[in-house]
Amino acid sequence: MAETTQLNPGVDDDIARIGAPSGDATLAIAGFTEEGENLSEFNDGTAQHGLKKHSHGNAPVIPEASRGERLKSYNLADFPVLTGREEDWRFTPLKRLRGLHTESLDGAGPTVSVGGAANIQVETVERTDPRIGCAAIPDDRVSAAAWAAAPVATVITVPAQTTADSEITVSIRGKDAAPAAQHLIIDAQAFSKAVVVLNHQGTATLAQNIEIRVGDGAELTVVSVQEWDEDAVHLSTQQARIGRDARFKHVVVSLGGDLVRLTPSSVFTAPGGDVEMYGLYFADAGQHLEQRLLVDHAVPRCKSRVTYKGALQGKDAHTVWVGDVLIRKDAEGTDTYEVNRNLLLTDGARSDSVPNLEIETGLIEGAGHASATGRFDDEHLFYLMARGIPEKEARRLVVRGFLTEVIQQIGVPALEEHLSEAVERELAAGNL
């Protein structure tokens, strides 16, 4: 198994990741690098070269006992080659990755164009830019490979104290199926306010790292919409670091693509943070839509809410939701709740839902989770039809109602409308 490391921010800079096949060790803990003063607090620079040794020696292999101990490294070689038996890959059909996990990610990749707000800053930067690594550290092999392979990064900065004068739209357009890597950074500085919508379309075989820094007192919404062509393969790590009293809303909408696997995470770095994570996915026949979340309550008095909802229709439509919530020893006053609901519209679809709450302190406000996967109920259908509503329309009414709850949370009217229409198209395509 690959996950053999420990990341324990703010506790011990001596804890290293271990068990790398190369035998060398890489450590990356916020604010605890010794050699990294000239780099960002989170980047030890090893990712670029894969050489630099960073931690204080090697420790024995520790099997993953907790989600918080999963291997994290900028060094691709630290991650064993995937077999599909790893805990975090066990639901993913590797053979449909079109080489993302085996081939070099040197395709041109989708184009990125940023529009919308005028009072923000958009840059394309070299890999040596100190902001690379400001908020993320790969915790799986494909993410690490993408980290090493992405030739440049797009950095979107919302300056401190600035309210973006409109939504920021990031259009990501894929043109071919060559395996490619991509790196984006969204840096919402202290007390800024912004909404960023990432829109993925076209075809691609893409491994993507998105770093999101939510500065102290900032309010940031990031919406990641996957409306890929039906052959696309997309693996995306979206890691957010949440500052003091910051508010972060993350929304995932996965509709298109053959295989889409997102691993969004929110890590609280100072008290008072508030995170909402929403997800909506609609899988058709043969589609694999996977989302693995992590909310890391590492500090006191933060609040998180996770709501993911999925609909499935058609043979071999498969969705996966794994929601890991960590409440660490110091996270007193934590208030968290996560829920995942799935609606199976036809036979032959499969939905896996795994909530996972780890609690290391009893001094919390509340912690809960719920997960339910229901079949579209004959009794619902009967009730609606008994009021004259034809079967097709009754089904649509229910699905629409089911998913609208999430769409309404986005808070971008044009996008909400667009997505409602997209859901209608999904329903129409499924002949429901």
Partner 1 sequence: MATLDIKDLHVSIDTDQGSKQILKGVSLTIRTGETHAIMGPNGSGKSTLASTIAGHPRYNVDSGSITLDGEDVLSMSVDERARAGLFLAMQYPVEVPGVSMTNFLRTAKTALDGEAPSLRHWTKDVKQAMAKLRIDADFAQRNVNEGFSGGEKKRVEILQLELFGPRFAILDETDSGLDVDALKVVSEGVNREHSKGNMGTVLITHYTRILRYIKPDFVHVFVDGAIAEQGGPELADRLEDEGYDRFAAQGTAAASA
Closest to partner 1 by CB, 61 vs 382, is: 382
Closest to partner 1 by CB, 160 vs 397, is: 397
Contact (Cβ atoms closer than 8 angstroms) between residue 179 and residue 103: yes
Tell me which of 175, 193, 305, 380 binds partner 1, using CB under 8 A.
380
Residue with tokens 């996560």: 338
Closest to partner 1 by CB, 16 vs 394, is: 394
381-410 residues in contact with partner 1 (CB under 8 A) are 382-391, 393-394, 397-398, 400-405
Q: How far is the CB of 404 from partner 1 (least distance, A)?
A: 7
- Contact between 278 and partner 1 by CB under 8 A: the answer reads no
Closest to partner 1 by CB, 165 vs 424, is: 424
Signed CA dihedral, 78, 80, 84, 90: sign only:
negative
Helix (H) or strand (E) holding 392: helix 391-407
350-379 residues in contact with partner 1 (CB under 8 A) are 377-379
Closest to partner 1 by CB, 85 vs 387, is: 387
Q: How far is the CB of 385 from partner 1 (least distance, A)?
A: 4
Q: How far is the CB of 170 from partner 1 (least distance, A)?
A: 30
Closest to partner 1 by CB, 230 vs 377, is: 377
Rounded CA separation 223/277 (Å): 10
Q: How far is the CB of 423 from partner 1 (least distance, A)?
A: 12
| Burial (0-12, 13-18, 19+ Cβ within 10 Å), 54 | buried
Contact (Cβ atoms closer than 8 angstroms) between residue 71 and residue 139: yes
Rounded CA separation 47/50 (Å): 5
- Contact between 420 and partner 1 by CB under 8 A: the answer reads no
Contact (Cβ atoms closer than 8 angstroms) between residue 385 and residue 353: no
Nearest Cα residue to 313 out of 335, 334, 288, 282: 282
Task: Count residues binding partner 1 (CB under 8 A).
Answer: 24
Structure tokens at 65: 């006992």
**Sites of contact with partner 1 (CB under 8 A):** 377-380, 382-391, 393-394, 397-398, 400-405
